[in-house]
Amino acid sequence: MKNYNDYQNEGPEEHVLSEDQRDSLLTIKAPADLRGRIQQRVAESRNAVIGKRTGFPQLAAAGLLGFLSFLGAQALVGQLGGPRVASLEANNSSTNSSTDQPAADASQSDLVRDYHLQGVALLSTSDRYLDTFGPVGQSPEVVLATYLHERGGQK
Amino acid sequence: MTENQKDLAALKRCQAGDVGAVGMLFDHFGDRVFRLSLNLLGCHAEAEDATQEIFLRIYDKAGTFAGRSKVSTWVHRLTVNFCLNLLKARKRRPLTLVDGVLEQRSSAELDASGSMEQCETAALVHSLLARLPAEARTIFVLREVDGCSYQDIGEILDIAPGTVMSRLSRARDKFRQLASASAESLGVKVE
């Protein structure tokens, strides 16, 4: 088998294609509209990538804020104690009275459980969070009040 | 500013998300990429599709260009790899219909590229290229048609210059055999 030096010592390279044959291939040009089609596809591809990049962080941020709001609301329930929650509950429900402490405790416990479920559900979709509680970034207290208002309205 | 420096600047603009820079690269490499795709794939429509995909990859991979070779070598490499992968995936050789190749060249191309005689000659060469194995066809086209140096071909195919020479020699022998066998029916002049 020939090695590199053998090929080097063969002298001038002997082409197989004639000039005419080579020229006939070199005259081939890309279709005139190909440039525009490529730029359009690149632009579409770029927009799709930007959509992916911005979509996920927005969703994640909304979910995180929803979760933090939920934690804040839980802390608020714990800090304010039964009377305020019971009072809020009483405003939304005619069946409870402010003197009915066991019922208020049960209601508060239900509230926390329900709100927990609601908060978990919120994490699954930022759209629902926005639809339910409005713009991301509301204080936990506002979120809780909104929730209680809606909960009362559902009863 | 050299051609390579202009290409590098366009690649950097691609990396920064400038879609217009793809047009600049197409102005420089579009015909070469399309021609190489057509010579390797043997089908006008496939060559168009391949050219689109290759320029999408150039845009996407602009940031991965390390600068160890010329931009033209890198573009050739992307083109060859894409076309060879396409041929492997489809498990077939390019079209061999001379008339088919002729029909696919529009009148606008004929006006731009020369006479009908040139088109017929190109079609005849394509019919012979179609019968070369993909590896031999690639190295033959890169040297005989595109005029790439041994070093550039070695970088494009990731092989040593000596290997380029030996494979090119075998590809030429094979092409001569095919041309001789088809000389009467196809009218190809073998020098």
User: Could you tell me if residue B95 is left (phi over 0), alpha (psi between -120 and 50 degrees) or otherwise beta?
Assistant: beta
The yes-or-no answer to whether B1-93 and B131-186 have a common fold is no
Hey, is B158 helix, strand or coil?
Answer: coil
Q: How confident is the model at residue A155, as a pLDDT?
A: 45
CATH architecture of B1-93: Orthogonal Bundle (1.10)
CATH topology of domain B131-186: Arc Repressor Mutant, subunit A (1.10.10)
Q: How confident is the model at residue B81, as a pLDDT?
A: 96
Chain centre to alpha carbon of residue A139:
21
**DSSP calls for A79-102:** HHHHHHHHHHHHHH-SS--TT-HH
Between A18 and A90, the higher pLDDT residue: A18
**DSSP calls for B130-149:** TTS-HHHHHHHIIIIIS---
Sign of the dihedral through C-alpha A111, A113, A119, A125? negative
A30 vs A33: CA distance, rounded Å: 8
Which pLDDT tens digit goes with each residue over B124-142? 889 899 999 999 999 999 9
Contact A87, A98 (CB under 8 A): yes
Residue ranges in chain B modelled with pLDDT below 70: 91-114, 184-191
Find, among B18, B72, B10, B25, the residue nearest to A35 by Cα: B25
Which pLDDT tens digit goes with each residue over A71-117? 777 666 555 544 544 555 555 554 444 444 555 555 666 666 666 55
Q: Which of A20, A27, A41 lies nearest to residue B113, judging by beta carbons?
A: A27
Predicted-complex ipTM score: 0.78
pTM of the full predicted structure?
A: 0.63
B63 vs A67: CA distance, rounded Å: 38
pLDDT above 90 covers a percentage of chain A that reads 10
Contact B31, B44 (CB under 8 A): no
Contact B71, B65 (CB under 8 A): yes
Report how many Cβ contacts below 8 Å link chain A to chain B: 121
Q: What is the mean pLDDT of residues A19-26?
A: 90
B139's CB contacts (< 8 A; 6+ apart) are: B153, B157, B164, B167, B168, B171
Q: Where are the domains of chain B?
A: 1-93, 131-186
**Burial tier of B55 (Cβ tally within 10 Å: 0-12, 13-18, 19+):** buried
B28's CB contacts (< 8 A; 6+ apart) are: B3, B6, B7, B10
pLDDT above 70 covers a percentage of chain B that reads 83
- Taking the CA atoms of chain B, what radius of gyration do you get in angstroms? 17
Interface of A with B (CB under 8 A): 1-4, 7, 14-18, 20-32, 34-35, 37-39, 41-43, 45-46
Q: Do B113 and A29 touch (CB under 8 A)?
A: yes
